Chain A
Amino acid sequence: MGIVQPIATRRSATGILTGKLAVWWLIGSEIVIFGGLLASYIMMRLLHGDWANEAEHTNVVIGATNTFVLLTSSLFVVLSHYWAEKGDRDKAFKYMWLTILGGALFLCFKSYEWTHEIAQGYTISKSLFWSFYYVAAGIHGLHIIGGVVIMAFISFDLKKGKNMHRAELIGLYWHFVDIVWIFLFPLLYIAK
């Protein structure tokens, strides 16, 4: 059933694209979700100095590599947006897929890392540090998966020259997911 786009969607009293506004509000609501989780973690971490003994066993090398992978993918999504604005469909498509590749690579490293840790007995129920570790990184990982799937859909639109503005919208989201990781990495890996 075809749905006619309402006039409401095309209006822009603020001068900002409606979709962009919505993505910003989405990011706003995500900030408080991660904010609540991380604030809980930080408060408890400050009260329990002995969590450092657990944090020692996290794999900083993989964490750092993943940080690099995500930051690079953020660059690619910017390039995809850049070419989408220029109207170069193929380049926008290519860079969108490089971003997806970055997300996929991140997930691969993550699975390797987690498999290794679980095999060594550092499971989600080993201690509260590991509970927070898996929950925070897990929710973040779900955001990566969601982003990758949405980007795959958008990339084909870009190729057809449809909804080119969505490159920017998913870019905003992807940067946000990236920034969350920038918080998670020092809090979970570096702070010993």
Chain B
Amino acid sequence: MSNDHDHHEQSIWEKYIFSVDHKVIGMQYLFTGMLMALIGGFFVYVFRMQLAFPGAEVLGWGIVNSAEYNALVTNHGSIMIFWVAMPVLIAAFGNFLIPLMIGCDDMVFPRLNRLSYQIFLISALVLIASFFVQGGGFGGAWTAYPPLSANANYNLTPWGSILWLVAVALEFVAFLMGGINFITTLMNSRAPGMKMYDIPIVVWMIVLASILFMASVGPLIAGAIMLLLDQTMSIGFFDPAKGGDPVLWQHLFWFFGHPEVYVVLLPAMGIVAEVMTTFSRKKLFAYKTVLNTAIATGILSFFVWAHHQFVSGIDPRMANIFTVTTVIISIPIAEMCFVYIATLYKGSIEFTTAMLFALAFLVEFLLGGVTGIFLGASGSDIYFHDTYFVLAHFHYTFVPIAIISVFAAIYYWYPKMFGRLMNETLGKIHFWGTVISFNIIFIPLFILGASGQHRRIYNYENFPQLATDGMQNLRVVATMGLIAMLVSQIPFLYNFVTSWKKGKIAGNNPWKANTLEWVATSPAPHGNFKELPTCYRGPYEYGKMEGRKDDYWPQNEES
């Protein structure tokens, strides 16, 4: 089977801006996500400086007032989840990897794919525009609880809150389109011979995440329409004064919001599976277990949402049920971590930068998971609720997911994206700088949270119990850690840009990996493969095999 893609010359416009090629669209998502990450990173720098040195002028911003502080915190969260984690983990790697790894030439609906990116881009622009309108950006937290978010008299951001909501809704539409594309592509367009258990785990995970997203976001889309009407036409869906119920929004939001955690976790888990098997030269310890636990996690994730609402006045009997389901969901996740550790056991481990990031993912995510148990149990959550303990907990899950695993993926697939290897020395500087400073930020925040420091406070000087020297010092340490982490990204950006032209030529398969994307040339042309491959075996045939000289066995090689 040959293909007829490269018959006509494409203009730059056609090739990079309005391309329908899944790889280019993946890159567009990746670069947009990285750009948004810079904005989100800048926001956190500004408000952390305010917390460490309240009232002082922040370099690059000036004095931070309380409305700005709220807008910065809110949009930091929104950006990092909706415009960084989602587009990079799911859309960028989903687009780039799915057709390559299942051995076909593109997504099943290339134009729908392009449309999904364009809508996503518009959503990002709407969000950015919301910072500059009258009243400033929305400051009611990324969870947008009404009545604060519903009424401009309370939030004082008449335009910011509307634009924020419109941006989020558009982003959902983009990912629904992308999701339909991913799911149908995997279902229908696999290479001949690729059976269910021959699909690389990362592809499974991205597609499962898309299904999870699709199944959970609907109520929130309905909720977003209702909230938009509350904001613009002063209807009272969520306003108790008009007979509405603010807790209804919390249900609609968290019915999406909690599965969303797993929507981003699963692709990260998938990336780590690919990187770990390649660099420990061992078969994935239990392929089917990983798959089954991922499905179990997905199903369970629909029954845990109310653990975000233990203090919202829900029935204590219901709180008990949600405590139980929340603790149960840690079982499949722990299982997955065990499988990964077992994969390393007696492997021939190679500490490339990608592998280091993958290992760091496991360690840091484990800390995030363990601290979650304190919050999942309704008794202890009543104390910890809305403190920095919660904040440190979810950053210990989200940073490994959205930052650390993404770096593992970038170092690992960069050669396939651009045909060249990234510099390993710079990569290791980047790795240690990022991971060490990450812990310097959030360990102090755990301590602060446990000592009762509440979230979303502009200036702790007004709270005598929280303004002690000891606590203020910890805040300064965390902020210093943050600056170190931001500075550590400079070697990465330098490496990313210079390796593009000057990196070592990678060749098709620099890591000696099995999956089908390594069969294509690096970088892969439009249409991906010269001859579309056929699949003969599972993706993780590594290690010594009888009758084989190599310690790997590509999926497309006939036996």
Contacts and interface: CB of A to CB of B under 8 A. Distances in A.
A117 to B, nearest CB: 16
A30 B177 CA distance: 12
A36 B180 contact: no
B511 to A, nearest CB: 25
A83 to B, nearest CB: 27
B456 interface: no
B231 interface: no
A43 interface: yes
Interface string B222-261: 1101100100011111000011110010001001000000
A32 B20 contact: no
A36 B188 contact: no
B252 A40 contact: yes
A128 interface: yes
A13 B189 contact: yes
Contacts of A30: 218
A26 B178 CA distance: 11
Interface in A10-27: 11-14, 16, 18, 21-22, 25-26
A31 interface: yes
A4 interface: yes
B218 A128 contact: no
B219 A33 contact: yes
Contacts of A6: 3, 5, 104-108, 110, 527
Contact of A11 (B189, B214, B221): B189
Contact of A21 (B176, B188, B229, B235): B188
B502 interface: no
A36 B109 contact: no
A45 to B, nearest CB: 12
Contacts of A18: 108-109, 184, 188-189
B219 A32 contact: yes
A4 B373 CA distance: 52
B191 to A, nearest CB: 9
Nearest to B249: A40
B1 interface: yes
Contacts of B252: 36, 40
B38 to A, nearest CB: 32
B187 A13 contact: yes
B56 interface: no
A46 interface: no
A29 B229 CA distance: 22
A87 interface: no
A124 interface: yes
A124 to B, nearest CB: 6
A140 to B, nearest CB: 12
B26 interface: no
A30 B181 CA distance: 16
B266 interface: no
Which residue, A6, A36, A43, A139, has most C-beta atoms of chain B within 10 A? A6
A22 B188 CA distance: 10
A25 B243 contact: no
A34 B111 CA distance: 27
Given A9-B108, A11-B188, A44-B248, A4 B5 contact: yes
Given A8-B99, A131-B229, A29 B104 contact: no
Nearest to A38: B222
Contact of B14 (A1, A26, A131): A1
Contacts of A32: 214-219
B2 to A, nearest CB: 10
Given A33-B218, A124-B235, A48 B248 contact: no
A3 interface: yes
A176 to B, nearest CB: 13
Contact of A125 (B105, B216, B235): B235
Given A36-B252, A131-B237, A135-B226, A26 B180 contact: yes
B183 A36 contact: no
Interface in B88-135: 99, 104-111
B223 to A, nearest CB: 7
The residue among A21, A25, A28, A39 with the most chain B CB atoms within 10 A of its own CB is A25
B243 A9 contact: no
A31 B225 contact: no
Given A4-B4, A8-B105, A124-B229, A34 B245 contact: no
A127 B241 CA distance: 11
B109 A22 contact: yes
A186 interface: no
B462 to A, nearest CB: 38
A25 B214 contact: yes
B108 A36 contact: no
Given A32-B214, A125-B234, A14 B187 contact: yes
A30 B226 CA distance: 16
A147 to B, nearest CB: 17
A31 to B, nearest CB: 7
Interface in A33-88: 33-37, 39-40, 43-44, 48
Contacts of B221: 33, 36
Given A13-B188, A21-B187, A35 B219 contact: yes
B20 A8 contact: no
Nearest to A16: B188
A128 B234 CA distance: 11
A51 B205 CA distance: 45
Contacts of A119: none
Contacts of A12: 188
Nearest to A1: B14
A96 to B, nearest CB: 23
B257 to A, nearest CB: 13
Contact of B243 (A14, A22, A127): A127
A157 B14 CA distance: 27
Nearest to B195: A13
B399 interface: no
B222 A29 contact: no
B269 interface: no
Interface of A: 1, 3-4, 6-9, 11-14, 16, 18, 21-22, 25-26, 28-37, 39-40, 43-44, 48, 124-125, 127-128, 131, 135, 139
19 contacts: A3-B111, A6-B105, A7-B104, A8-B99, A8-B107, A8-B188, A9-B108, A11-B189, A21-B184, A21-B188, A22-B108, A22-B109, A29-B217, A32-B216, A33-B218, A33-B219, A36-B223, A48-B243, A128-B235
Given A6-B106, A8-B106, A33-B221, 9 more contacts: A1-B18, A3-B111, A8-B188, A12-B188, A33-B219, A33-B222, A36-B219, A36-B221, A36-B255
Q: Which 8 residue pairs spanning A and B have beta carbons closest together?
A: A36-B219, A32-B218, A6-B106, A37-B222, A33-B218, A8-B189, A8-B104, A36-B222
